[in-house]
Amino acid sequence: MSGALALPARAARRRSGVTTAALAWRNLWRNRRRTWLTAGGIAFAVWLLVVSVSMQDGGFEVMIDNTARLLVGHVQLQHPEYHDDPALEHLLDDAPALEARALATAHVTAALPRAESFALVSAGERSFGARVMGVVPAAEQGASSLPGMVTRGRYLEGPGEAFLGETLARNLDLDVGDEVVLLGTAREGGVAAAVARVVGLYATGQAELDRSLLQIPLDDFRAGWNLGDGMAHAVVLLVDRAGNSAAVAAALGGGDAAALDWRALMPEAEQTVEIKRLSTRLFFALIALIVTFSVVNTFMMTVFERTREFGMLMALGMRPGALVRQLCIEALWLGLFGVALGLAVSVALIAVLAGTGIPLPEDAAEIMARYNMPDRMYPAFSLWAAGFAGLVMLLGVQLAVLVPALRLRRLTPVDALRGPE
C-alpha cells in the first residue's frame, strides 16, 4: 500500500520540479535587457578564456614542435643512464632495431639515430671545444629543421663532410671548403680523430648552438670514435603532434632503452608553458570575479523588484527555502544560457581561425620564416578551457545568488507586502 502511494507522490514531485524550472526560465525573461546583459558578461568571460587558452596552446604547440625538430626531438630513446650521465660509453647497441620498432608505433613520423661527443676542433692555429654530432644526412634532411637553416654552402651529403654554426666557423676562421680536424677521446680511452671538409654553415639564432655544434655523418663518427656498427647514443623521434609525445614515450619505454619525451628533454620549456598557463588562469579568475559581482547585482535587483510577489507567495504558504531554490534555478538557467552562448561563439571563431590562421606582422613573419616557423598563428581548441570556464562560471553564478538569498531568508510576508511595487 505504501509503495502504491509513493509512486503518485514521486510523480507529483517530478511535475513540481518541471513546473518550477519552467517558471524560473519564464521569470528570467521578465527583464530581457538585464538578462541579455548578464548572460553576455558570462559569455564574454567564457569566450575570453577559451579563445585565449586555445591561442596560447596553439602557440605552445608550434614552439615545442619547432624546438623539437631543430635538434632535441619530441621523444628520445637512450641508454637508461645516458640522460643523467651523457658519457660516451652509454650507448644503444642496436639502434636500427629501435628505429624499426619506433617507426611501427602510432604517431611516429621519423626516427633519427645520433651519436655525439665533445672534441677539440682545430683549423690552422686555432682550436675550440665543440659538440660533435654524428647524424644520417638523408634522414636529417627530411625531418630536422637544422638543414633548412643553411646560410652558406649546403647540408651534409656524404662521408668526410662537416656542417657547423657560423659563430664556430668565425672563431676558427673557417669558410666553406676548408678542412677541420677533430680530436677527442674514443670509446675505450684511445684517441678519437677525424678530418672533414666544411660543406656548409648554419645560423639558428641561438648563440650557444651556433658556436658549439658541428655535425658529421654518423658512419664517420663511428669510425673516428671507435663505435661498432649500429651503435648510437640516441634515436631521436619526431611525432605528428607534440601532444602525442607522452603516449609514444609510454609505448616505447622499457627494456634496454629509456624513452624520454620533450618534457624530460626540455624541462625549461615545460616550466615556461606552466608559468604562462598559470598567468592565464589568474587573469580569468579576475574576470570571473568581476562577472560574479555583476550577477550579484542582477539578482539583488530581482529580489527588490519582486519583493511583493515573494511576500504574496509566502502568505499563501510557500516557505523561504522554496523561494531561494527557485532563485537558484533562475541563476542556473542564466549561467547555462551565458556559458552556452560563450562556447558557441568560441567554437565558431576557433574553427574559422584554425583553418585560416591569424597573420603576423610583416617583420615578425620574416623572422619566423627564417627559422622555419609559420607566419600565422593557429589556435588549438582546448577542451580543458571550455570545461573549466563553464564550470567556474556556473559555480560563480550560484555563489552570487547566496547574497540576495539571505534577504529572502529574513523576509516576512507582512513586510514584503508593505514593500514598494
- The pLDDT tens digits of the residues spanning 107-124 come to 999 999 999 999 999 998
* pTM exceeding 0.85: no
Q: How far is CA 266 from CA 123, 165, 258, 324, 347, in A?
A: 33, 21, 16, 53, 32
Helix, strand, or coil (residue 254)? strand
Q: Give the tens place of pLDDT for each residue, 340-395.
A: 999 999 999 988 888 787 776 666 555 555 555 666 777 888 888 888 888 888 88
Cell numbers placing 113: 639515430
What is the predicted pLDDT for the residue at 364? 56
Kindly tell me the burial class for residue 384, based on how many C-beta atoms sit within 10 Å of its own C-beta (0-12, 13-18, 19 or more).
exposed
d(CA 346, CA 380): 12
What value does the mean pLDDT of the chain take? 83
Instruction: Report the relative pairing of strands 191-202 and 161-165 from DSSP bridges.
Output: parallel
Domain positions in the chain are 17-65+271-418, 114-229
Q: Could you tell me which residues are beta bridge partners of residue 131? A: 118, 213
Q: Name the stretches of the chain with pLDDT < 50.
A: 1-2, 4-5, 7
At the topology level of CATH, where does 114-229 sit? Answer: Barwin-like endoglucanases (2.40.40)
The 3-class SS string of 114-128 reads EEEEEEEEEECCEEE
d(CA 117, CA 121): 12
Phi, psi of 170 (to 5 degrees): -70, -40
Q: How long a stretch of residues is the chain? A: 421
Kindly tell me the burial class for residue 131, based on how many C-beta atoms sit within 10 Å of its own C-beta (0-12, 13-18, 19 or more).
middle
